Amino acid sequence: MLKNFKLILCRHGESILNKQNKVSEWSDTNLNYRGISQSFFIGQKLLNHNLIPDTIYTSQLKRTKQTSSIIKYFLKKDVHTISSWILNERYYGILEGKNQHEAIIEYGAYNIHKIKTDFYTMPYFFENKYILDNNRLINNNIETIIGESGNMVSKRVLPYFYNEITNNFINNDTIMIISHKHVLKTLIKELEKKNDEEYKNIEIPQGVLFYYELDKNLNLITKKIL
């Protein structure tokens, strides 16, 4: 009898730049002390719920790899791990590394809010106004110099999810993805069939596990927040 597939989504622990209130998206910052502690608690949650991943996917940024390493150390199991830049956080272009308060002063609170929440808004400005992507832009290059909308993130993440990650369900029934806020929002939007407006309200706290059971066609059966 075919088992249901188990998928665990997890945001990395708090990083040094998170604590400094800076836009850290593709900046390769380490976990801070709180982020390390959060990673241990994630490992404990996995044990408590008997959810031991067969494969862990991370981005290529240190904060996800460190979170994964701590979890594996806590579980005392060398879980097969695959890292890809495609799971990197949304790229924020000219806002990368900026203090978020200073960015609001420079570009305006409404502009920054729109960039952070709207699915089609890019972190780029023309005549002091944000720019909307045209629904055709795709980021297939880690060396990109433009910023991404949530829609652009989905266009690089979802093909990887369906063509690479879910192929591992053939051999494994539990897969864990440790990534970043906007990547996980993309996956949750897809799995839960949320629309563009609902995307704005998806929250991804650090230290929280999103657990899904999927059928053989990858349709959602059960969701739990742990």
pLDDT digits (tens, 9 = 90+) for 5-23: 999 999 998 887 777 766 7
pLDDT of 121 above 60 = yes
| Model confidence at 120: pLDDT above 60 | yes
The question of whether 182 is a catalytic residue gets the answer: no
Mean pLDDT of 33-44: 93
Stretch 128-139: mean pLDDT, rounded? 67
Q: What is the pLDDT of residue 96?
A: 80
Residue with tokens 């990534």: 179
Predicted local confidence at residue 1, as pLDDT? 42
Query: Alpha-carbon distance 165 to 213, whole Å?
Result: 15
Residues 6+ apart with CB under 8 A from 190: 154, 158, 161
Catalytic residue among 89, 148, 180, 182: 89
Closest to 26 in 3D by CA, of 180, 136, 151 = 180
Determine which of 50-54, 85-89, 108-112 has the lowest per-residue pLDDT on average. 108-112
| Residue 117: pLDDT over 70 | yes
The rounded mean pLDDT for the chain is 87
d(CA 172, CA 198): 31
**CB 193, CB 183: distance < 8 Å:** no
Q: Does residue 87 or residue 130 have the better pLDDT?
A: 87
Name the residue with higher pLDDT: 138 or 104: 104
Q: What is the pTM of this model?
A: 0.90
Tokens of 88: 């990197």
Is residue 216 over pLDDT 90? no
Torsion of CA 35, 36, 42, 45, to 10 degrees: -120
What confidence tens digit (pLDDT) does each residue in 134-175 have?
Answer: 766 565 655 555 788 999 999 999 999 999 998 888 777 899
Give percent above pLDDT 70 in the chain: 90
pLDDT higher than threshold 80 for residue 93? yes
Higher confidence at residue 21 or residue 75? Answer: 75
Query: Strands, DSSP E only, in 115-197?
Result: 121-126, 129-132, 174-179
Which of 12, 25, 148, 180 is an active site residue?
12
Active site residue 12: yes
